[in-house]
Structure 1
Amino acid sequence: MGIYLSSPKTEKFSEDGENVRVRYGLSSMQGWRAAMEDAHAAITDLDASTSFFGVYDGHGGKVVAKFCAKYLHQQVLKHEAYQQGDIGTSVQKAFFRMDEMMRGQRGWRELAALGDRLNKFSGMIEGLIWSPRNGDGNGNTDDWAFEEGPHSDFPGPTSGCTSCVAIIRENQLIVANAGDSRCVISRKSQAYNLSRDHKPDLEIERERILKAGGFIHAGRVNGSLNLARAIGDMEFKQNKFLPAEKQIVTADPDINTVDLCDDDDFIVLACDGVWDCMSSQQLVDFIHEQLKSESKLSAVCERVLDRCLAPTAGGEGCDNMTMILVQIKKPVPSGASPSDEPLASPDDEPSASSEKLPSSDDVIAETKPAECGSSS
């Protein structure tokens, strides 16, 4: 849904970056939508051994996506679990922390600072897209102390965003996702989904929604939101008798940890504006074809967005689009060479290590990658 322009805005925000471990390119485009509600973060050096990439797809407003692009990676870095090497726990806590930080006077003030318009009747805050330049703001945050003020009882924004992040440390990739943005890895030119789309009709989502007192109508939570997990959307998180992970809509991310190896070609993160138009395998195939003649990764992303853009307003190809393409720059050290065994079939149990790997009934991926160097 949404209001469409009479002609699409095809100007793109594009960026490339690299360090000794990775190189990336990204691009975002407003398209036919009346406003740009996507945001992203690309931090090649979250610390000396870690890179962070995130795509945030806003709905009902822009600032929650902007807020996450500015603060989520900072909270990952700050959490004590991160200092102990537990990236999965630190990123999960960071997702929940976004909802906490957007409440109260301080949350209201920060959201207002990121926006350029505040509707005093609905409490909706709007603003321009936030895309932090690589390396900006990845230091320690302050304590986010409680502030007194006229908005001390602010419950948080009614708008929200999806969040799909990929964290690369040495030979591990940690993917965290809440919503329907998606992370895909190309291994030997085969696409493997490392996240699932959190739609209300998934059994595990439907069960939580109904137990929390919500309902599903026309594929939407309470007839409104077509996502079952998101950051923000505080109107769906008001049950004081339930923890954050059991609310009608939750920010609780799936966490998937995968061992990287020399067979891995690249990683893609993109919002649903891209996945609505291309399947995971179609996108992987298209990228491989483009890389034969184009070495600039942001240019490849731009070609994807142009290919997905609808010729007329309405339907698929009319959403905002954001895509990040990441290549591992050097071969990943490994104690064993990659196996010649075929990758897991759709019915196999996942062999990649995972703290919260979705069940095979819920994963949208046709197949899942086997562990590097695995053998029967």
Structure 2
Amino acid sequence: MKMAPEINYPPAFPGLQGSFRVQNEAATTEEERECLESCKSIKTGRPPRHLSLRPYSPNSSLLVATTDLESDAEIVRVTSPPDGNPAFLPVYRSGSCSEIGPKPFMEDFHICIDDLSNHLSATAGAFYGVFDGHGGTDAAFFVRDNILRFIVEDSHFPNCVKQATRSAFLKADQAFADDSSLDSTSGTTVLTALIFGRILLIANVGDCRAVLGKQGRAIELSKDHKPNCTSERLRIEALGGAVYDGYLNGQLSVARALGDWHMKCPKGSPCPLSAEPELQEIVLSEEDEFLILGCDGLWDVMSSQCAVTIVRKELMLHNDPERCSRELVREALKRNTCDNLTVVVVCFSPDPPPWIEIPTSKFKRSISAEGLNIIQQALVHAGRGTYLFDDVVSELSSLCIF
């Protein structure tokens, strides 16, 4: 997270039973009716302030070397169809990695719960989240510790998980402001993934990103809430805000966040900096292999398709999501990311992804070295960034004959 110019954490969710791995308002009547029709399935703790800021840092010697990368074939925004094998049920397993990167302080937090039934009676599912803090750690720490509790205690849960999640984000934002022991000027982006059976619900505020790996293709399940995004800019300006050099009111590089109450209007009033999450719900199928949740420190230097390609190749080598998350962090550091790094990889099967058979084309496509040079110059002049150029050239090289 940009603003202008392994820790042993105490147990979270004190009201829930069991333990889990932690590393690092109400709707209108019409909304409720619509939500209930569409749903066919399915005491705030006070964390200590100013924790040690030294993150868990995996030994670089343990990181697997990057294999040759295929990249950016295409990035699509679609939902998985509800057909396929009706008996299919995903098996959740996850791995995560956090690194401080080049920044002086670590402000990222995340959470991985592979089995919610250990914490919520008669509730089978999984929950994951990435929280990219800025202006201090208070907001990210508070939301990490409380967001799931706000979801499950909402009156809409479990009949309408979408509405419960939307309400939980807003309640968490206000509860954080009400806690006088915390610095309400700190802020955080929030990206969560809640899974019940085959239903995957992504909720996002800010510029973390959720990407689904579907038979080697990257499916983006969230939108980066950047102030320069057309829809966000229009919303900001309609509410009296402004965007200067990509920053909301010249201060913040995201258009949505929890916390940052020095930039928000009085409670209950619309304001340019929103805590309202965008939701994406899909039905998982056998083609959906894994999910990547990452902060902007990853996506600043890597495309969604490149990340999916790396994870899929790593899973085929060792089938370990923890090592996959480490490899993404290692690759982002290699590409000189300027931010903290947090990555969570969630697999939906106990088996590694299968090999994909690519049909042989009747015609061979070729391109000369001169042609590649022209493409390079065009991308450079277009300002697409060197990491995207490397991905495109790698992809072209794998498809073309010289």
TM-score by shorter chain over 0.5: yes
Distance of 1:27 and 1:34 partners within structure 2: 18
User: Which residue, out of 145, 164, 170, partners 1:70?
Assistant: 145
Q: TM-score of the superposition, structure 1-length normalised?
A: 0.67
Distance 1:326 1:108 in 2: 36
Q: 1:49 to 1:10 in 2, by over 3 A?
A: closer
Rounded to whole Å, the distance in 2 between the matches of 1:168 and 1:284 is: 20
Structure 1 counterpart of 2:168: 94
**Map of 1:28 onto structure 2:** 98
Match of 1:49 in 2: 124
Equivalent residues of 1:9, 1:31 under 8 A apart: no
Query: Paired residue for 1:108, among 180, 198, 205?
Result: 180
Long gaps (5+) in structure 1: 14-19, 112-124, 126-156, 332-376
Which residue pairs with 2:221 in the alignment? 194
The letter of the residue matching 1:327 is C
Q: Which has the higher strand share?
A: 1
Partner deviation per Cα, 1:118-169 (whole Å, 9 max, x = no partner): xxxxxxx4xxxxxxxxxxxxxxxxxxxxxxxxxxxxxxx1111111111111
Question: What aligned pairs does 1:216-365 form with structure 2 within 5 A after superposition?
Answer: 216-239=243-266, 243=268, 246-310=270-334, 316-329=336-349
C-alpha deviation, 1:201, in angstroms: 1.6
**Aligned residues of 1:43 and 1:52 also touching (Cα < 8 A):** yes
Which position in structure 2 is the counterpart of 1:183? 210
2:155 to 71, 76, 80: 80
Given the superposition, is the C-alpha separation of residues 318 and 202 from structure 1 closer, same or farther in structure 2, using an over 3 Å criterion? Answer: closer
**Count of matched residue pairs:** 268
Following superposition of structure 1 onto structure 2, how do residues 10-25 of structure 1 map, counting pairs within 5 Å? 11-12=57-58, 21-25=91-95
Question: 1:192–1:159: structure 2 CA closer, same or farther, 3 Å change rule?
Answer: same
Letter in 2 for 1:305: V
Q: Residues 43 and 51 of structure 1 are in contact (CA less than 8 Å); yes or no, is this contact kept in structure 2?
A: yes
- C-alpha contact (below 8 Å) 1:212/1:239 kept by paired residues: no
Task: State the alpha-carbon separation in 2 of the partners of residues 310 and 239 from structure 1.
Answer: 43
Aligned CA distance change for structure 1 residues 81 and 3 (closer, same or farther; 3 Å): closer
- Which whole-Å CA distance do the structure 2 matches of 1:57 and 1:9 have between them? 13
Secondary structure of 2:115's match? strand
Q: Is the 8 A contact 2:103 2:339 kept in 1?
A: yes
Deviation track 1:259-305 (CA, whole Å, cap 9, x = no partner) reads 11000110110000011111000000011111122232111111111
In structure 2, the CA distance between the partners of 1:272 and 1:254, relative to structure 1 (3 Å rule), is same
Runs of 4+ in 1 over 3 A off after TM superposition: 1-4
1:66 counterpart SS class: helix
Aligned: 1:203 with 2:230: yes
Structure 1 contact 37–57 (Cα < 8 Å) conserved? yes
Q: Render the CA deviation track for 1:355-375: whole Å, top value 9, x for unaligned.
A: xxxxxxxxxxxxxxxxxxxxx
Give 1:173's match in structure 2, choosing from 200, 212, 216: 200
The answer (yes or no) to whether the contact 1:310–1:318 under 8 Å persists in 2 is no
Paired with 2:131 and 2:197, the residues of 1 have a C-alpha distance of 24
1:90-128 CA-to-partner distances (Å, cap 9, x unmatched) read 111111111111123xx123x3xxxxxxxxxxxxx4xxx
Give the greater-gyration-radius structure (CA). Answer: 2
Deviations 1:179-236 (A, max 9, x none): 0000010111100100000011222211221222211111111111010001111122
Aligned-residue offset at 1:77: 1.0
Cα distance, 1:10 vs structure 2: 8.1
Quote how far apart the aligned CAs of 1:247 are. Answer: 1.1
Q: Which residue of 90, 102, 108 corresponds with 1:38?
A: 108
The AA in structure 2 aligned to 1:222 is N
* C-alpha contact (below 8 Å) 1:159/1:232 kept by paired residues: yes
Assess if the C-alpha contact under 8 Å between 2:99 and 2:341 holds in 1.
Answer: yes
Find the residue that maps to 2:204 and give its secondary structure.
strand
Structure 1 Cα separation of the partners of residues 316 and 281 of structure 2: 30
Of residues 316-325 and 266-275 in structure 1, the stretch that sits farther from structure 2 once superposed is 316-325
My pick for the range that moved more, 316-325 or 259-268, is: 316-325
CA RMSD of aligned residues (A): 2.5
| One-letter code aligned to 2:343 | M
Amino acid at match of 2:333: L
Counterparts of 1:96 and 1:173, CA distance in 2 = 21
Structure 2: unaligned runs, 5 residues or longer: 6-53, 60-89, 352-402
